[in-house]
Structure 1
Amino acid sequence: MQRAWKGKTPRRPALKKTNNVEKDPVGVYCRIRPLGAEDEECCVEMISSSTIQLHAPDGLKANRNGEYKETQYSFTKVFGINTGQMELFEDVARPLVEDLIQCKNGLLFTYGVTGSGKTYTMTGSPGEGGLLPRSLDMLFNSIGPFQAKRFVFKPDDKNGIDIQSQVDALLERQKRDSQQSVPKTPSSRQKADLEFADMITPEESRKSKNIDEDCSYSVFVSYVEIYNNYIYDLLEDAQFDSVRPKPPQSRILREDQNHNMYVAGCTEVEVKSTEEAFEVFWKGQKKRRIANTQLNRESSRSHSVFTVKLAQAPLDADGDYILQDKNQVNVSQLCLVDLAGSERTSRTRAEGSRLREAGNINQSLMTLRTCMEILRENQMCGTNKMVPYRDSKVTHLFKNYFDGEGKVKMIVCVNPKADDYEETVLVMRFAEMTQEVEVARPVDRPIYHLAAGRRHRNQAFKDELSRRLEERGGPVNGGDSALMNQLIESLPALPPCELVDPTDDQTLPRLIEVLEQRHRIRQMMTEQVTHTANKVKFMLQQFDSQMSSKDTFVHDQQSKLNEKEKVILNQKTEIERLEKKSKTLEYKIDILQKTTEMYEQDKRSLQQELEGQEQMLQKELSERRRMEQRMQGVVTDTKLKWEKECERRVNAKQLEMQNKLWVKDEKLKQLKAIVTENSSGGSFPPEPPKKPERPSRERDHTMPQKRSASPTALPTVPPVRPTHRRSRSAGGEKWVDHKPASNLELDTVMQPIIPNAIKVSTPNEKALSKCHKYVLRHQELASDGEIETKLIKGDVFKTRGGGQAVQFTDIETLKQECPTAPSRKRRSGSDEGPAQTEDIENRAPVGGTSSSNGYQKRRRP
């Protein structure tokens, strides 16, 4: 909401009317109360009759660095400090009372900070009556002569009004008089309550000119308060128990058959005068919750709602009695609401229950503001957001008014002192925003299709009849009617007739006496009715004789009546046509509403299904992520397990190879000793033929060729030179030698040697792209406890995606043998060497793998 500095607030353009429904904006009025002391700093200035300007206090400007500027706010009308209660009533409340008489609802509530004059505006003080007593005074001044007798209209406890017959109403009145629970209405203003009599002077009394004299009226009032978001009936007659005092019972909100909200079980009192209505108001006002706070000596701690309900029903065609048809009863109501003031707990220093009360008050006012904001957004932006009426009892109770069940007006009360500046700014923003909310204009009351002026014509006829009867022999209306009414009113009420004592000799005689008296009065009434009927018959005969001489006049009147009947017939035909058209349109509207509900239901079901699918998808994704994490954990655990197992096997194999190396060293020493002995003897035995060498598959180390020695060797024979066999790994290809960091270094003499190899501890794409072959050194523990090394070989080739892949083709196993193994028996002498050498040389590869015996050097301790 943009604001012009030192200028009027820009107004939004008027909303377009839709569906041919005329709307009126919420009427917002501002009233400025006088300052408490002349030396107080003022922050509110009245610019014109519809604009005010707020000035930030000097201290606040210094603290906020000029954040608060002089801002202007516009309202329907602004009432200054010199405005009286009468002027305020004429501009604000009087139109609502006029609408109440015309069967239209109205809502008027006061809003503002604590101590801004809301209760004074609504109730007033002696000599300065507020809006509530002036509204009651105008209502009863207008309908006073046309009110129905008490108990003719009766609430049905469902927010409706029933009509009772004259006999039932008479019995109700007699029952009331016997119980003496309802005080009688004062007959004149002199008997009125003195406090109320001082509020409104006779010169200030107002009267409506739009009263329908062909209707009968009755007024019902109720008074409730909303405290801590609970509704309590202030007019409830609860018996006080001094031993166990019971707290008041809260009421609930319900919806009637016309979808209007009402307080279920609320007390509705029928009143017949302004004094009686104001007396009922003060009865409830004494029960209202007020408290002494830092900001107000008598601060309202609840929202009060005083409802004036007007029931009216048409008279019959003769203008004598009320139509006994509940559907013809029109009920309208005017709600006068005094909202509790918004306040900051930091200023009031509230604690305990006062702090809770302040929190509930601020929460309900915040809900009212939220409802107004959403209503304005729906009307301006064309949205269809749900208005949160149910979040607070205040908004839920007045939901129908904002939906188009009557006019809504608000009086914003402002305290101009500087201490309330920040709260006043918030109140002004809410009030200005409320002006942009539009409420549907209420429709006029229905027409009863009865001739107007029935009561007046009936009274004129009775007066004329009385005058002629007086001329002919005695008064009827002045004598007979008065006597008849006197006899009806003199019927005694039946005394209690319950017998609880067999010796009771007073109840039955008293009952017999009352019945005899009622019987005598009924006989007198019968005689009076018979006498009156005879006089009426005589008068009708006189009229017949007079009317015979006026046939021409009657004929003219009959022709006019026929013309009027034709006009009425045409109007009825037009009305029937319009009613049929209206029913057709209503049927189409119902079909469209049902179709819309079906589509909305389908939309909700699809949205729910979509949400369910999304939830299932999210669940599956989360389950997949959990499975991946679990598998990663399993892989990591397995890898660690195998690494530990490999390390254990390598250690065992290393120990085995060390033992074998020691055995080989011992055998070489023995061979050396044998050769030395033979050479010292002077001759060598002839060299045995060489055994053909078996080729091994892809050995990556050289193995010396051993020869068997004999005891007699010739000294001229050259020393034996070992031959070497080359493995296939010694070719011209480039190899990737993958040796994991966990492998153990074996101190064997014969180590696998791979030339042109790139040694890596972890294979990578860069190394694979430069080589053609791949070998993996894998160590594990053999069955005999020695470390066994496997050379896993493969070819490297390029993939379609531009990467590298390895295809394994061969596995070469390298084993170590322990000389102390139980399968070998150590022998002494010359026979041991050749046999052992032959066993080593004649070992052949098995099943696609080649094995070689590495001769290791035994570690000396």
Structure 2
Amino acid sequence: MKPSRGKTPSSKKTPRRVINKAKDPVEVYCRLRPLGDDDASVCVTPINGTTIQLKPPEGSHQYRHGNIKETHHSFKFVFPENVSQKALFDHVSLPLVDDLLHGKNALLFMYGITGSGKTYTMTGSPTDGGILPRCLDVLFNSLGELQARKYVFKPDKNNGFDVQTEADAMLERQKRELLPSVTCRTPSTPRTPGTPRRKLADLDELANRVRVPDNTRVSNIDEDTNYAVFVSYIEIYNNFIYDLLEETPPDPINPKSLQSRNLREDSDRNMYVNSCTEVEVKNTEEAYAVFLKGQRRRRVAHTQLNTESSRSHSVFNIRLVQAPLDPIGEEVLQDKDKICVSQLSLVDLAGSERTSRTQSSGDRLREAGNINASLMTLRTCIEVLRENQTMGTNKIVPYRDSKVTHLFKNYFDGEGKVRMVVCVNPKVEDYDETTHVMRFAEVTQEVQVARPQAVRHDVGLTPGRRRANQMYKKVIEEGGSVEDLKPIISLGPPFPCLQLCDPREDTTLHTLTAFLLEREKRRHTLREELLRKQGTFRAHLMEMERDMEQLKQENAELKMKLNSRNKSTDALEKRVKHLQQQNDMMMREQQLYEHDKREMESELATKRQKIQRELQEKDRLRNALKGVASSQKDKWQRECEKRVRATQLELETKMWVKDEKLRQLKEIVCAREQAKAKKTRTNSNNSTFNRSKSPPPKPSQPPVRLKHRRSKSTGNAVWVDHKPQSTLKTDTIMQPVYPKNKKTTAAPSVKDIKGSNNYMLTHQEEDSKGEVETKIFKGDVFETRGGGRAVQFNDVEKLRQDLPPSPPSNKRNKRPADEELDSGEWTDVETRCAVGIEGKPGASQPAAVHIVPQKKLKK
């Protein structure tokens, strides 16, 4: 795998190293897992520091086929059961960290069957860390204060990095850290499908416990370079790549909804995971926290062989970005082509297993099949590579058959150091799987990988720039003189010794030649730096000139706009003055109007008071006149009633006189009739004395038809018949006929009157002769404004029965009417009077009656 470099234009090509054709084999180490107290028999025995012996047990597959021969397998180094994590790290991983600091790439595999100790070798425990935390400790111990400020190096999303100034980095740091945006809280420990709860509890305990750091550090680090560390953590599950550091936690219900990542190839033909989260860390604690965050999301499950078996391949990448300082040692050189990126990949492969032993089913069976398929692809690629290198063939290596091999194909085809730690469980039950692991380890050791070479981009720049800049700043802070300081830029050390002791001596000449070549090289570098700075300065000057011309044009335009605005301002000021004068005149007119308005309002108030007094006076006079009118009206009403009573008395007196005369006349007539009758009876007795007796003749009386009544004298209207209980029944035939009536004896209520058109009140009294006289008061019913009923009387009927007077003695002067009276028939007299009164239902008689001439009805 080639270290990531930026491309440089052809006019300014960066000195590249000469590609070394030297290759190194893949280094494979073996680590034996310690046995428990119950494990008595083993099948793996270490012979020496590089060889182990495998002895087939009785229950193994080879033993059943008669192959009981012991086999020996050699490695780069064999770590016994009691080896410490520190010893293993110093022997295997410390050289890889050294290569990382010097711009070289490295790849470290953990390979073995399930339960052989791969994860423990990689992570370890808080008190005894594994390879991964110790690599971080050594890396940050070695860098120390040489790290650049955060966000100076920024990923460009194409597996490369951009460099920005300290000011821009500070702005971005404030934007991301000091002013963080409000986001939704996400679960701190999301659990992915298949992750046991005990595993998460162990991780929380691992994070909370105090970790023992490794104090080892790498020397000979270039002090004139700034560094930055970026970490990422991915897993390959079922041949899909997932980012364990993504912000959105995975869905524990539907794991298929996780967004898988794709592999891409950058400009240097290096493979990388697209859109993978890379976190810039500044110390081991931050990097280890990032690792634990991803470890919580990693897929593990319980199987028959391991309670916490890894079901995916995990890859923890450590990328070190380094770039030289500028010639004055202040900031990172603002040149992307000078950036060098080296990478250390720590891979924890899932364990190979046989499904017959694990008795897996469902998801576990599918996971085991994918794990075994990816490991088989890795073995196939290694075997094809070995065959191509040893036999000289040119077969196509099937890297694309698996994501693991496709991701790391650059290490095998390019350059970089590749190492593998084979973890072995010496139990006899794992003999068959251990045999396949040993065969794969032997094949892997025969593969050759190109040896990595370090690259330095600051060739020609004066060493010690950082320290000289620090000294300069310190002197400035202390207020001292900077004259005694050495120049930051120099051509290197002084000339070597030029003394020649022997004409055949070539050492001095070679030394001088090398010194001059180095000085010429430095001079050429300084000249290029000077030309670059001159070009930059000239570009700045031209840009400033262009800005100046643009500012002049803008200034002229602004002056023209200012003059036009000044003119418009003067015109507006004149207009404002004119409007101010008009406003003053209008204000004075308004004041005059206000004065007139106040006077008119005062006059109006006076007139209103006067009108009010006049109205009060009129009301008083009206009330007084109303009282006088009411009193005068009452006086005239009393006077009219007095006259009516006098008239009634006079008429009653006249009627009494007439009645008395009629009575006397009647007595006279009756006496004559009696005398005449007596005389007739005497004569008849004498003349008929001898005749037979016969009944006396009946007196002649007028025929009376009692059933005869006036036909429909009351019409078809609905009448309310108010007839008191004390009313006497008379024998007169002139009775009113009312087919539709409502009879009542008490004072009628509104309910009785409601729905009626007419009202009729019967009143009886005794006249001067002792006869009963019946009066019927009739009126119309109408509705009042208040919702009640009122009666207006408009007619009076008087019913009485009189005895006709006796006929006179002189029959010659008799009139037809007198002849009728002489017949001795009674006469019914009906007197009708029209009245104009208004009263209430239930009144015994009207308050005022207007009498009209009478008429007689004779039967």
Per the normalisation by structure 1, the TM-score is: 0.52
Partner of 1:178: 179
Where does residue 51 of structure 1 map in the other structure?
A: 51
The verdict on how the C-alpha distance between 1:450 and 1:120 changes in structure 2, with shifts beyond 3 A counting, is same
Trace 1:493-508 onto structure 2 (pairs within 5 A). none
Cα shift at 1:151? 0.6
Aligned match of 1:378: 388
- In structure 2, the residue matched to 1:276 is 286
Does structure 1 residue 249 correspond to structure 2 residue 259? yes
1:206-355 alignment, distance < 5 Å: 206-238=216-248, 247-355=257-365
Query: In the alignment, is the contact (CA less than 8 A) between 1:196 and 1:275 conserved in 2?
Result: no
Q: Does the residue aligned with 1:211 lie in a helix, a strand or coil?
A: coil
What is aligned with 2:34?
34
Does the C-alpha gap of structure 1 residues 199 and 380 become closer, same or farther in structure 2, counting only changes over 3 Å?
farther
What letter corresponds to residue 332 of structure 2 in structure 1? Answer: I
1:451 aligns to 2:462 (yes or no): yes
CA apart distance, 1:170: 1.0
Q: Evaluate the alpha carbon distance shift between residue 180 and residue 274 of structure 1 in structure 2; reply closer, same or farther with a 3 A threshold.
A: farther
Alignment partners' CA distance in 1, 2:371 and 2:237: 8
Indicate yes or no: 2:75 matched with 1:75: yes
Q: What are the residue-to-residue correspondences of 1:14-29 with 2, within 5 Å?
A: 21-29=21-29
Contact 1:218–1:270, Cα closer than 8 Å, also in 2? yes
Residue 426 of structure 2 corresponds to residue 416 of structure 1:
yes
Deviation of the 1:167 alpha carbon: 1.9
Could you say which residue in structure 2 is the equivalent of 1:584?
none
**Matched residue type, 1:142:** S
SS in 2 for 1:59: coil
- Conserved in 2, the CA contact under 8 Å of 1:404 and 1:441? no
Q: CA deviation at 1:200?
A: 5.2
CA shift for structure 1 position 461? 2.3
- Summarize the Cα distance change of 1:239–1:232 in structure 2 as closer, same or farther, 3 Å threshold: closer
CA distance in 2, matches of 1:462, 1:106: 38
TM-aligned CA deviation for residue 430 of structure 1: 0.3
Unaligned runs of 5+ in 1: 1-17, 184-192, 470-538, 577-861
Q: Which residue of the partner structure matches residue 4 of structure 1?
A: none
Find out whether 1:100 has 2:110 as its counterpart.
no
1:407/1:442 contact within 8 Å kept: yes
Deviations 1:569-610 (A, max 9, x none): 64479999xxxxxxxxxxxxxxxxxxxxxxxxxxxxxxxxxx
Displacement of 1:46: 0.6
Question: Do 2:462 and 2:491's aligned partners in 1 also have CA atoms closer than 8 Å?
Answer: no
The aligned counterpart of 1:154 is: 154
Give yes or no for contact 1:129–1:199 (8 Å, CA) kept in 2.
no
* Worse overlay, 422-431 or 165-174: 165-174
- Please tell me the residue identity of whatever aligns with 1:329: I
Q: What is the distance in 2 between the residues matched to 1:557 and 1:334?
A: 36
> Which residue does 2:402 correspond to in 1?
392
**1:123/1:133 contact within 8 Å kept:** yes
Task: Output the CA distance in 2 between the equivalents of 1:43 and 1:385.
Answer: 37
Deviation for aligned residue 1:50: 0.4
The within-5 A match list for 1:623-772 is none
By how many angstroms is 1:452 displaced? 1.1
SS at match of 1:304: strand
Q: CA deviation at 1:240?
A: 7.2
2:117: which partner in 1? Answer: 117
Summarize deviations over 1:457-509 as a string: whole Å, max 9, x none.
Answer: 1112222333344xxxxxxxxxxxxxxxxxxxxxxxxxxxxxxxxxxxxxxxx
Cα distance in 2 for partners of 1:69, 1:440 equals 37
Look up the SS of the partner of 1:419 in the other structure: helix
Structure 1 residues 557 and 91: alpha-carbon distance in aligned structure 2, compared to 1, 3 A threshold:
closer
Give a deviation string over 1:523-554, Cα, whole Å, max 9, x none: xxxxxxxxxxxxxxxx57xx4xx99xx9xxx9
Sort the Cα spacing of 1:569 and 1:53 in 2 relative to 1 into closer, same or farther, 3 A.
same
Tell me how far apart the structure 2 counterparts of residues 201 and 556 of structure 1 sit (CA, whole Å).
44
The structural deviation recorded for 1:196 is: 6.0
Measured in 2, the distance between the counterparts of 1:244 and 1:396 equals 27
Q: Write the letter of the residue equivalent to 2:90.
A: E
The residue identity in structure 2 corresponding to 1:213 is E
Offset from partner CA, 1:635-655 (integer Å, 9 cap, x none): xxxxxxxxxxxxxxxxxxxxx
TM-fit CA distance, 1:38: 3.5
Once the two structures are TM-superposed, the CA of residue 105 in structure 1 deviates from its matched residue by: 0.4
Report the Cα offset of residue 178 of structure 1.
Answer: 1.0
Q: Distance in 1 between matches of 2:524 and 2:68?
A: 63
Query: What SS is found at the alignment partner of 1:378?
Result: helix
- Residue 251 of structure 1 aligns to a residue whose secondary structure is coil
In the alignment, the residues of structure 1 paired with residue 40 and residue 69 of structure 2 have an alpha-carbon distance, to the nearest angstrom, of 20
Q: 1:555 & 1:293 partners in 2: Cα distance?
A: 67
Question: C-alpha distance in 2, partners of 1:248/1:296?
Answer: 26
The answer to whether the 8 A contact 1:290-1:298 is kept is yes
2:164 matched to which residue of 1? 164
2:798 matched to which residue of 1? Answer: none
Matched AA of 2:78 = V
| TM-score (norm: length of structure 2) | 0.52
Q: In the TM superposition, what are the counterparts of 1:441-840 in structure 2 within 5 Å? A: 441-448=451-458, 449-469=460-480, 543=483, 567-568=517-518, 570-571=520-521
Report if the CA contact (8 A) 1:56-1:70 is conserved: yes
Describe the superposition over 1:121-152 as per-residue Cα deviations: whole angstroms up to 9, x where unpaired.
Answer: 00111311000000000001111211111111
Is this contact kept in 2: 1:223–1:304, CA < 8 A?
yes
| CA–CA distance in structure 1, aligned partners of residues 495 and 37 of structure 2 | 77
| Alpha carbons 2:235, 2:242 under 8 Å: kept | yes
DSSP-derived class of the 2:423 partner: strand
- 1:211 Cα offset (Å): 1.1
Distance (Å, rounded) in 2 between the aligned partners of 1:167 and 1:19: 38
Cα distance in 1 for partners of 2:238, 2:252 equals: 25
Counterparts of 2:492 and 2:49, CA distance in 1: 60
- Aligned twin of 1:658: none
Equivalence for 1:847: none
Structure 1 partner of 2:128:
128
Q: CA separation in 1, counterparts of 2:62 and 2:321?
A: 59
Q: Would you say the 8 A contact 2:324–2:457 is kept in 1?
A: no
Aligned-partner Cα distance in 1 for 2:175–2:245: 21
CA drift of 1:111 comes to 0.3
Residue type at the aligned position of 2:243: D
Aligned pair partner of 1:401 in 411, 426, 429: 411
- Counterpart amino acid of residue 326 in structure 1: K
Pair 1:181–1:48, CA change in 2 (3 A): farther
Q: Provide the C-alpha distance between the structure 2 equivalents of 1:62 and 1:239, rounded to a whole number of angstroms.
A: 47
Cα deviation, 1:308-339, whole Å, max 9, x if unaligned, reads 00101100111111101001010001000000
CA RMSD of aligned residues (A): 3.3
CA distance in structure 2 between the aligned counterparts of 1:161 and 1:388, rounded to whole angstroms: 30
Structure 1 residues 169 and 54: alpha-carbon distance in aligned structure 2, compared to 1, 3 A threshold: same
Counterpart residue identity of residue 178, structure 1: L
Cα distance in 1 between the residues matched to 2:136 and 2:67? 46
C-alpha displacement at 1:267, in angstroms? 0.3
Task: Report the equivalent of 1:201.
Answer: 212
Partners of 2:23 and 2:97 in 1: CA distance? 20
Distance 1:360 1:316 in 2: 50
Assess, with a 3 A threshold, how the Cα gap between structure 1 residues 290 and 570 changes in structure 2: closer, same or farther: same
Amino acid at match of 1:231: I
* Whole-angstrom CA distance in 2 between matches of 1:180 and 1:386: 50
Quick check: 2:317–2:344 contact (8 Å CA) kept in 1? yes
SS at match of 2:414: helix
Q: How much has 1:59 moved relative to structure 2?
A: 3.2
Match for residue 833 of structure 1?
none
1:758-806 superposed Cα distances (whole Å, 9 cap, x missing partner) = xxxxxxxxxxxxxxxxxxxxxxxxxxxxxxxxxxxxxxxxxxxxxxxxx
Cα distance in 2 for partners of 1:105, 1:245 equals: 34
Q: Secondary structure in 1 aligned to 2:222? A: coil
